[in-house]
């Protein structure tokens, strides 16, 4: 199967996508040919990515994300700080990211709020109930936690859209 892939020219760096892609490929003990076959590009395209001459296009990044089981954010070495758009938890590690029903990583939500294409909390009130009980303490009483979450959660993408 052959597909057309759009790439973007970039400058070579020592910590960017080129190094990350090569490291992930070598960690999986894949040759450039094997990786190319899995993401429907030529071996030369993989070589250009690893040499920092180009970066994969959006659709290819999605495939690479699945092959390496990491987020697109990780593939690009982007310093963007991810936050769960349901509960507000910082997503500092790919292991915290949610999954779609097909296994693809979803960078918008944590694995506790969203899994297999479905949200765990049907209403904001149900999430506030959980969070205010789970994270309250003597220093942060439940009513203070509840007030904080009631103010913070509506600003997040998931609740702003509902």
How many residues belong to the chain?
Answer: 162
Cβ atoms within 10 Å, residue 126: 11
What band does 61 get if pLDDT is binned at 50, 70 and 90? Answer: very high
Across 72-160, the runs of DSSP E, i.e. the strands, are: 97-99, 105-110, 114-115, 118-119
DSSP string, 12-62: --SSSHHHHHHHHHHHTT--HHHHHHHTTS-HHHHHHHHTTSEE--HHHHH
Looking at every residue in the chain, the average pLDDT score rounds to: 89
What band does 7 get if pLDDT is binned at 50, 70 and 90? Answer: very low
Q: What is the pLDDT of residue 5?
A: 43
Could you report the per-residue pLDDT of 89-120, keeping only the tens digit for each? 999 888 999 999 998 899 999 999 999 999 99
Cβ atoms within 10 Å, residue 15: 8
Could you report the per-residue pLDDT of 110-147, keeping only the tens digit for each? 999 999 999 999 999 999 999 999 999 999 999 999 99
Which position has the token pair 């999430």? 127
Find out whether 131 and 145 touch, Cβ atoms under 8 Å.
yes
d(CA 125, CA 129): 6
Task: Collapse the DSSP code of 119 into the 3-class scheme (helix H, G, I; strand E, B; otherwise coil) and give the result.
Answer: strand
Could you report the per-residue pLDDT of 148-160, keeping only the tens digit for each? 999 999 999 999 9
What band does 69 get if pLDDT is binned at 50, 70 and 90? Answer: confident
**Nearby residues of 139 by Cβ (< 8 Å), 6 or more positions away:** none
Please give the average per-residue pLDDT across 19-28, as a whole number.
Answer: 94
pLDDT > 90: percent of the chain: 74
Read off the tokens for 57.
């296009």
């Amino acid at each position: 199967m052959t597909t057309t892939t759009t790439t973007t020219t970039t400058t070579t760096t020592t910590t960017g996508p080129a190094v990350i892609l090569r490291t992930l490929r070598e960690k999986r003990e894949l040759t450039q040919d094997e990786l190319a076959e899995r993401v429907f590009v030529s071996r030369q395209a993989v070589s250009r990515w690893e040499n920092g001459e180009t970066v994969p296009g959006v659709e290819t990044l999605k495939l690479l994300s699945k092959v390496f089981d990491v987020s697109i954010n990780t593939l690009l070495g982007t310093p963007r700080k991810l936050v769960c758009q349901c509960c507000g938890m910082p997503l500092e590690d790919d292991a915290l990211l949610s999954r779609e029903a097909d296994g693809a990583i979803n960078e918008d939500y944590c694995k506790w709020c969203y899994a297999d294409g479905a949200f765990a909390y049907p209403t904001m009130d149900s999430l506030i109930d959980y969070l205010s009980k789970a994270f309250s303490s003597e220093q942060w009483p439940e009513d203070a936690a509840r007030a904080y979450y009631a103010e913070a959660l509506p600003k997040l993408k998931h609740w702003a859209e509902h």
